[in-house]
Structure 1
Amino acid sequence: MTQLLLHLFVKNYQDTGDPEVRGQYGRLAGLTGIAVNVLLCAGKFLAGLLSGSVAILADAVNNLSDAASSVVTLLGFRLAAKPADDAHPYGYHRAEYLAGLSVAALILVIAVELFKSSLKRILAPETVAFTAVGAAILVVSIAAKLWLCLFYRRLGRAIRSEALTASAADSRNDVISTAAVLFSYAVTQLTSIPCDGWAGLFVALFIFWSGLGIARDTIAPLLGEAPDEALVHGIANEIRSYDPRVLGIHDLIVHDYGPGRRFASVHVELDAREDVLEAHELIDSIERDVTKKLRVELVVHYDPVVTDDAELSAVRQRVECVINAIDPRLSFHDLRMVRGREHTNVIFDLVLPFDLRGEEDAIRRRISEALHAEGHHYRTIITFDSEAFNDIHTRMEADVTEPPVPEEPSGARRE
């Protein structure tokens, strides 16, 4: 059924990276959700009136809120497809996250209201009349919501949509809550035990817990979570394999402005003997081709490295041995030396894991002592980088170092 709907209503549905195709996915999901939930709401409302069950009526209201959530999702995708303008130069793609957050808010409100009505029913039980029509409507509702959950999940995974993932979770909750209502409906008929209110209370708590999870998942990208690992390694692999002249990469930073709108910057290391114009052409080609293939606006910073300086190679090996002894997770890049009359500055960036923050002075001291033990007048100037931007740090040759640069003050960082 899902495949048929995609064939009928989404042109080029396999090209999920295309913003236009993504918008069509969102429209299909929104309209389908509205249609299914409105029909289920009408059926459950009828069953609730016939039986007098507060749990069934609450479930009907829940479906009505789901229809409203589908409207919000539809509007979110429509707004996200709006082109960038002067006020929002990076586009409106984060509107999809706001749609998911709105769905979570509606779920939480419904959970609170259902909790109140269920608590009242527990304190003042009422007789629930069992009808075959009501039971049949609940069974059909479970089947419909199960299909809708799988439908949302497939579309959400295809386009990596937080809003559709939230809708899938909401539909799953509806399957569980309606099953609980059906169970209490049957138990009340068979045993005369007034469990209608308790079933509604269980459903309310479950829905509330799920709403909190959905809110957490949609807030995370708005606050600025770590980039998608597959994307990070995809960019890294594309650059590393692009040309044999690429010696290594580091400082890869990805900015996410919403689904399908991402920017990235990275430092690419090339041999310092490479012709400047040819190196520039290579960098331009990497930016252009990676942007086209991965749909990420990429900016590359060119780092020249020296491969034929024996002293630099020796220092590099020594630094590598020291940091491995301190912690194997440590890595470094942008190593260069500035030779002076009385001492030589050894300058590099050290990638520091999050749990070692606060240990910078101790690490700097151990590295300095190790270099001084060689009998040279080395002074270390270390800039500590975040692991978040350097977990894909790679170097394709072991003995490479940066070319000398004019002497700079302690703690300075080369751009």
Structure 2
Amino acid sequence: MSLVIAVFIIKSGIDITREALSKIIGARTDPSVAKNVKDEIMKMPGVTGACDLFFNDYGPDKKVASVHIEVPDTWTADQIDETSRRIEHAVWKKEHVILSAVGIYAKNTKDPESRKIEEKIRSILGHYLHILQMHGFYADYPQIRFDLIIDFNVKNRQEEYSEILEECRKAYPDHDVQITLDADVSD
């Protein structure tokens, strides 16, 4: 009987330690919460994207997150401020998640040439099977910049990233192409 009790105590201790370490190191957020937060953000008028969602979990009802939203490049600071505050309120009301920061990606809307560049870049990316997402795209001569998420299951993400960067630079040699290799941490 003593052996059974000892095993039970040891197992309970291991479980408690594992749970505590998971919180300290950073456990992955429930994917349904991440999806609900993004869905709530996408309901906002004018918002065309929600990405780079990062969570910090400090226990029950103590989740803090940050996110980037994509809005038209014609928006003024007061439009961005109003939308950010509405997003913060809506996400808290729906999921009890505090949004500590709402970053901004501007979406090209004034320049038809930038849309053509984006379409060509997306076409290039279409040849790669492990691309999960491109976001934060902005083209403003001489710069082209965007974030790219490559699946972690790819044997060599850095190699694929370098290949994509080189291909994009060949397609636009007179531009400064900047690609940020991003991590898919919320889905």
Fold shared, TM-score > 0.5 on shorter chain: yes
Q: Is the 8 A contact 1:345 1:378 kept in 2?
A: yes
- What is the Cα deviation at residue 337 of structure 1? 2.6
1:339-364 deviations in Å (ceiling 9; x for gaps): 2xxxx332221123333475324423
- Tell me the residue number matched to 1:384: 181
- Tell me the residue number matched to 2:97: 296
Q: Is the 8 A contact 1:349 1:382 kept in 2?
A: yes
- Tell me the residue number matched to 1:61: none
- What is the Cα deviation at residue 330 of structure 1? 3.0
Q: Residue 24 of structure 2 is aligned with which of 201, 222, 231?
A: 222
Give the TM-score, by structure 1 length. Answer: 0.40
- Tell me the residue number matched to 2:166: 368
- Tell me the residue number matched to 2:112: 310
Q: Which structure 1 residue ranges, 4+ long, deviate > 6 Å from structure 2? A: none
Q: What is the CA–CA distance in structure 1 between the aligned matches of 2:167 and 2:150, rounded to whole Å?
A: 19
C-alpha spacing 1:231/1:205, structure 2 compared with 1 (3 Å): same
1:26-69 deviations in Å (ceiling 9; x for gaps): xxxxxxxxxxxxxxxxxxxxxxxxxxxxx3xxxxxxxxxxxxxx
Q: Is the 8 A contact 2:106 2:136 kept in 1?
A: no
Q: 1:355 aligns to what SS in structure 2?
A: coil
Q: Residue 145 of structure 2 is aligned with which of 347, 364, 369?
A: 347
Matches within 5 A, 1:209-248: 209=11, 211-241=13-43, 243-248=44-49
Quick one: percent identity of the two aligned structures?
A: 26
For structure 1, the residue ranges without an aligned partner over 5 or more in a row are 1-54, 56-113, 116-199, 392-415
1:298-319 deviations in Å (ceiling 9; x for gaps): 1322332122423222222222
Q: Is the 8 A contact 2:145 2:179 kept in 1?
A: yes
Q: Residue 252 of structure 1 is aligned with which of 53, 66, 74?
A: 53
Q: What is the CA–CA distance in structure 2 between the aligned matches of 1:375 and 1:302, rounded to whole Å?
A: 25
- Tell me the residue number matched to 1:330: 132
In the alignment of these two chains, the number of paired residues is 186
Name the structure with the higher helix share. 1
Counterpart residue identity of residue 90, structure 2: D
Q: 2:45 aligns to what SS in structure 1?
A: coil
Q: What is the CA–CA distance in structure 2 between the aligned matches of 1:318 and 1:222, rounded to whole Å?
A: 43
The farther-off stretch of 288-297 and 252-261 is: 288-297
Name the structure with the higher strand share. 2
- What is the Cα deviation at residue 273 of structure 1? 2.0
Matches within 5 A, 1:3-402: 55=1, 114-115=2-3, 200=4, 204-205=6-7, 208-209=10-11, 211-241=13-43, 243-298=44-99, 299-339=101-141, 344-356=142-154, 358-370=156-168, 372=170, 374=171, 376-389=173-186, 391=187
Counterpart residue identity of residue 269, structure 1: E
Give the TM-score, by structure 2 length. Answer: 0.82
CA RMSD, Structure 1 to Structure 2 (Å)? 2.7
